[in-house]
Structure 1
Amino acid sequence: MLEVRDLSVNYGSFRALHGVSLTVQPGEIVVLLGANGAGKSTLFRTLSGLGRPSGGSATWNGTPLTAGRPEFNVARGVAQCPEGRLLFPDLSVEKNLRLGAFVHRRDRNAVATELERVYTLFPALMEKRHVPAGSLSGGQQQMVAIGRALMARPQLLLLDEPSLGLAPLVVEQVFAAVQQVNRAGVCVLLAEQNAYAALGIAHRGYVLEGGRVSLTGTQAELLGDDRVRSAYLGV
């Protein structure tokens, strides 16, 4: 469904991605492991249409994603939950969620249905729906950020560092929700530094180092690889 071929991205004279290739197949959670500066966020920005590549291609169901029109990519079924959440802190939880459905705003019944699904997935948000998003805990803010992306009714969810800064118990809750979303039919490409949590739910994965894919494998293969265990699992 998602096919990235030889994707390169430059920032001026600096090359952030060097010929990256990867795929996400129907029903998969695919993890992208890598340290800060490895190129994970650059890849996500490019797949979302927020940046243009200098070479290569990325397609979703055969349709190019790299034309630089983010709203078109969202309408095609690709939504991103960005690193750092990027909520509107002074707006209520529900208004933040509804902004995620902007491309479908004319279909009020569908928006109401998606809103109900988000509240079912994250019951704590129902109680906080009229509270400013900026007043929530970090874990609840992450739930709002994921819920906002889901309001776009994506077929592919790009999750950028969802566990960043969260307590272990909250990380478990967030990743359990990601699995639930996946079981409902949404493909997930997950960028993470928390390799334990990410590989615990992923089907396959890629390791990104210095803007290049250095390793790929199934969940079991990556968990058993000495390079992954040393660099990301502390073993």
Structure 2
Amino acid sequence: MLEVRDLSVNYGPFRALHDVNLTVQQGEIVVLLGANGAGKSTLFRTLSGLQRPSGGTATWNGRPLTGGKPEFNVSHGVSQCPEGRLLFPDLSVEKNLRLGAFVHRRDAAGTARELERVYALFPALVEKRHAPAGSLSGGQQQMVAIARALMARPELLLLDEPSLGLAPLVVEQVFEAVQRVNEAGVSVLLAEQNAFAALGIAHRGYVLEGGRVSLQGSQGELLGNDRVRSAYLGV
């Protein structure tokens, strides 16, 4: 479904991504491990159409993701939940969610159905639907951010550091929700520093270091790899 080939990205003279290659197949959760500055967010911005590459390609179901407008990528099934949530804090939870469905704004009935689905996925948001998003706890705000991305009806969800700053119990709840999203048919590319939690739900993974893919493998291979265990699992 997603095929990234020799993708490079420059910020002026600085090269943030170096010839990155990766794939995500239908129905997979693929984790992208890496420290701060490894290039995970740059890769996501490029796949979302927010950043132009300096070389290489990225395609989604055969359609190019690079070089076009972000709304084209969203309308064709690729939705991103960004690092830091980036909610509109003064708007209500429900207005934030409806903004996620902007590309489907002419389909009021479909938007209503998606609202019910995301409220079923995150029932804690139901009683908060009219509250300002900025008044919610960090965990609830992350739920809003994921739900907003799902309102675009994606086939591929790009999740950038969803566990950042959350308590362990909330991290568990968020990752359980990601699993349910995947079981409903949405493929997931998950960028995470919390390797233990991410590998607990992923099918495969890649390690990004200095803008390069340094390692890849199945869930079991990465969990058993000494480099991964030392650098990301604290073992």
Coarse TM-score class (shorter-chain normalised): over 0.9
RMSD of aligned Cα (Å): 0.3
TM-score normalised to structure 1 length: 1.00
Q: Percent identity, please.
A: 87
Which residue of structure 2 aligns with residue 180 of structure 1? 180
Which residue of structure 2 aligns with residue 122 of structure 1? 122
Which residue of structure 2 aligns with residue 49 of structure 1? 49
Aligned with 1:51: secondary structure?
coil
Distance 1:177 1:85 in 2: 16
Alignment of 1:197 with 2:197, yes or no, is yes
Distance 1:98 1:42 in 2: 26
Distance 1:233 1:196 in 2: 6
1:125-164 paired onto structure 2 within 5 Å: 125-164=125-164
Distance 1:183 1:60 in 2: 20
The residue type equivalent to 1:136 in the other structure is L
Distance 1:91 1:68 in 2: 29
Which residue of structure 2 aligns with residue 107 of structure 1? 107
Distance 1:87 1:17 in 2: 27
Aligned with 2:57: secondary structure?
strand
Distance 2:99 2:222 in 1: 37
User: CA offset at residue 68 of structure 1?
Assistant: 3.5
1:67-106 paired onto structure 2 within 5 Å: 67-106=67-106
Distance 1:200 1:152 in 2: 26
Number of positions where the alignment pairs a residue of Structure 1 with one of Structure 2: 235
The residue type equivalent to 2:229 in the other structure is R
Deviations 1:2-42 (A, max 9, x none): 00000000000000000000000010000000000000000
Distance 1:13 1:68 in 2: 23
Aligned with 1:189: secondary structure?
strand
Distance 2:92 2:193 in 1: 30
8 Å Cα contact 1:97/1:144 also seen in 2: yes
Aligned with 2:200: secondary structure?
helix
Aligned with 2:217: secondary structure?
strand
Deviations 1:122-153 (A, max 9, x none): 00100100000000000000000000000000
TM-score normalised to structure 2 length: 1.00
Which residue of structure 2 aligns with residue 16 of structure 1? 16
Which runs of structure 1 show a deviation greater than 4 angstroms over 4 or more consecutive aligned residues? none
Distance 2:165 2:44 in 1: 20
8 Å Cα contact 1:51/1:68 also seen in 2: no
Aligned with 1:97: secondary structure?
helix
Aligned with 1:177: secondary structure?
helix
Distance 1:68 1:92 in 2: 31
Distance 1:54 1:33 in 2: 23
Distance 1:68 1:214 in 2: 29
